[in-house]
Amino acid sequence: MKNLTTDIFETSSGKKLEITFIVHASLKFRFGDRVIYVDPTSVLADYSGCEKADFILYTHQHSDHFDLQALDDLATADTTIICTKDVAALIPDRDSRDIEVMKNGDSANFRKGFTVEAVPAYNYLLRERFHPVGRDNGYILQFDDLKVYVAGDTEDVPAIQRLADRGFDIAFLPVNQPFTMTVKQAANAARIIKPRIFYPYHYGQTEEETDLEALCALLEGSGIEVRLREMP
């Protein structure tokens, strides 16, 4: 993969967090010497030449978030796979892999200042049967004192109210109906959780174009910095 954008942040201890924007809902984090992928899928990108993963996180099993080819391209015997039980059920040779199944509400500390918490991700107004309550995960990632929310496929569901006042530095919220949030829902979710920086993601890949200008306009004066990055 060429010409990908990377943003760099620094923790209070001086460590760097690099976020690379791959495609759609696929992200790469580098924190110190660890490489972390979220929702890599070869349906949308070629991972065969990419550096190997220390951790791979999957929010759910849909093909625009998970497939076995990308997993095989990125994983080694030492890779930790963090996923839902439905994703784990699709992975061959499960007993020989380091798989951490997480459900909504679970959390784990993966050493050296990196923690993961699984939170609800679901539909409640639109397409409920595609993202039902309790099945899929969003993730809160803690890198030292930097807190990142990767929402997964969700709407501005009541569960997001419980994430208010969590002090997010960075949030990734999906903005593409008819699958996830409308522009108004995403703006509402952002105002609830109040991240310092909001990256719209999971837009495109549908016939309905996401109006990113309207999204930015809805958040004017909110104190939230909206950063747009190319994720085709």
Using pLDDT thresholds of 50, 70 and 90, give the confidence band for residue 198.
very high
pLDDT digits (tens, 9 = 90+) for 126-181: 666 678 999 999 999 999 999 999 999 999 999 999 999 999 999 999 998 777 89
> In angstroms, rounded to a whole number, what is the distance separating the alpha carbons of residues 112 and 110?
7
Strand partners, 170: 148, 197
Strand partners, 28: 20, 37
Model pLDDT, residue 111 = 76
Query: What six digits make up the tokens of 67?
Result: 């497939």
> In angstroms, rounded to a whole number, what is the distance separating the alpha carbons of residues 129 and 134?
12
Residue with tokens 């990196």: 114
Beta carbons of 135 and 157 less than 8 angstroms apart: no
Burial environment of residue 182 by CB neighbours within 10 A (0 to 12, 13 to 18, 19 or more): buried
> In angstroms, rounded to a whole number, what is the distance separating the alpha carbons of residues 96 and 197?
39
pLDDT digits (tens, 9 = 90+) for 91-136: 998 888 999 999 999 999 987 779 999 999 998 876 666 789 999 9
> In angstroms, rounded to a whole number, what is the distance separating the alpha carbons of residues 139 and 104?
9
Is residue 183's pLDDT more than 70?
A: yes
Strand partners, 224: none
Using pLDDT thresholds of 50, 70 and 90, give the confidence band for residue 11.
very high
**Exposed e or buried b per residue across 111-139, where buried means at least 16 C-beta atoms within 10 angstroms of its C-beta:** eebbebbbbbbbbeeeeeeebeeebbbbb
Helix (H) or strand (E) holding 55: strand 55-57
Model pLDDT, residue 169 = 98
Question: CATH number of the domain at 5-226, out of 3.40.50.2000, 3.40.50.720, 3.60.15.10, 2.40.128.20?
Answer: 3.60.15.10
Model pLDDT, residue 47 = 97
Model pLDDT, residue 208 = 65
**Domain range summary for the chain, segments of one domain joined by +:** 5-226
Q: What share of the chain is helix, strand, coil (3-state, %, to 5)?
A: 15, 30, 55
Strand, coil or helix: 49: coil
Strand, coil or helix: 74: helix
Using pLDDT thresholds of 50, 70 and 90, give the confidence band for residue 10.
very high
pTM above 0.75, yes or no: yes
pLDDT digits (tens, 9 = 90+) for 57-77: 999 999 999 999 999 999 999
Q: Is 159 left (phi over 0), alpha (psi -120 to 50) or beta?
A: alpha
